[in-house]
Structure 1
Amino acid sequence: MTEQGVLVLVGAEALQLKDRLEASGYTALVWGAGDRAIASDGQQPMAALVSPGQLPQVGELRQWLGALPILLGVTEDSIASRELCFSSGADDFWLSTSAPSDLLQRLRLHLSLQKRREEHCSVVVVGDLQLETASGLVRRGTRPIGLTERESS
């Protein structure tokens, strides 16, 4: 099986998918609130899967992962669940009651979209400092750096 990349798992329902994700070629890492130094042989995570009930973690993950995909688990497919998912800062949702194949399909879609965005976005790297020229996002290591409007123009 070829290595697909590193996924961050948050919460019990996401952790239950670990074996299936690893069978699909992903490296699964467990994340808890406040974790910043997760690493897998130096590879950076490419997405996060967040269990239902772990909604408060989405904001911290967004700060850490930047624009990388975050998929939030929901227990029911309703307008209210979708609105809660998207208003939390997650990119998409997955039904925790559905088969893992649905989650894998959504994950592949977001990773494909991310790859296309990265191909169009040039990144200037100096040491551990990264500047995405298209978006103006700046990172030192995994930590985002906020710039003023003047600094980012």
Structure 2
Amino acid sequence: MKLLIVEDDLMMGAGLQAALKNAGFDAHWVTDGQAALELLTQSSFRVAVLDISLPGLDGLALLKKLRDDGSSMPVLMLTARDTTHDKVMCFEAGADDFLVKTTDMEELIARLRALIRRAGYVGRLCVGNITLDSDTLVVTKDGKLLSLSNREFELLRVLMEGAGQVISRSRLEEAVFGSIRNGDSNVLEVHIHNLRQKIGDTSLKTVRGVGYALTKP
């Protein structure tokens, strides 16, 4: 699950990123609002953790712009400000939740997962005899554990979310490489080949010139 942290305090930001990665999130961290805005135009995230006080474009201005642009991404405001007025401003700007920085990490993780669930995220996917759990990062086939690389896991997750539909190359590349495109045009095919070897060649179809589709039984 891709998560964005926007926090200018270096110690706080590094601690958040490490803790959220340990909890299974694909946590990306930037230190100012403008960098966050640019990253959000290049890639999609399940949820964001946003500080109010940021250099340049502050957290509230960034949040208002996201909502004005039609973004429905869940946003949790994590800030040292704890007055009722601060909370009201955050919620009026479009925040989905609010926590002060003194909160413990377990509560933060629980609230983030709750926001993602409310946004329609399904943590456990089942297609035929394959089951994928995004929270535990476990994939099984016929009840037997499959060993997948991180990129194979992300590929399979996107394919399972859109099972029965053709998923474009660009969307799959974004899932594997994020905003950084690999110069080797064959890299995606290599990952697809490896994934086929593990889940079964007949499950994953190539639609030439378009993308790939995971068949639904």
Which TM-score band (shorter chain)? Answer: 0.5 to 0.7
Query: Residues 37 and 12 of structure 1: is their aligned pair in 2 closer, same or farther, counting only changes over 3 Å?
Result: closer
Query: Residues 37 and 80 of structure 1: is their aligned pair in 2 closer, same or farther, counting only changes over 3 Å?
Result: closer
List gaps (5 residues or longer) in structure 2.
Answer: 54-58, 123-167, 169-217
Give the Cα separation in 1 of the matches to 2:85 and 2:38.
34
Give the Cα separation in 2 of the matches to 1:116 and 1:45.
12
Give aligned-pair identity as a percent. 22
3-state SS of paired residue (2:60): coil
Number of aligned pairs?
Answer: 114
The one-character-per-residue Cα deviations of 1:56-98 (angstroms, maximum 9, x if unpaired) are 2212333567111011123254422321210121111122111
| 1:84 to 2:80 alignment | no
Contact 1:7 1:27 in 2 (8 A): yes
Greater gyration radius: 2
Query: Residues 64 and 94 of structure 1: is their aligned pair in 2 closer, same or farther, counting only changes over 3 Å?
Result: farther
Give the Cα separation in 2 of the matches to 1:10 and 1:68.
14
Structure whose residues are more often strand by fraction:
1
| 1:44 to 2:40 alignment | no
3-state SS of paired residue (1:111): helix
Query: Residues 25 and 57 of structure 1: is their aligned pair in 2 closer, same or farther, counting only changes over 3 Å?
Result: same
So what's the TM-score if we normalise by structure 2? 0.44
Show the counterpart of 2:145: none
List gaps (5 residues or longer) in structure 1.
Answer: 118-126, 128-153
Structure whose residues are more often helix by fraction:
2
3-state SS of paired residue (2:48): strand
Query: Residues 29 and 45 of structure 1: is their aligned pair in 2 closer, same or farther, counting only changes over 3 Å?
Result: same
Show the counterpart of 1:146: none
So what's the TM-score if we normalise by structure 1? 0.61
Query: Residues 44 and 106 of structure 1: is their aligned pair in 2 closer, same or farther, counting only changes over 3 Å?
Result: same
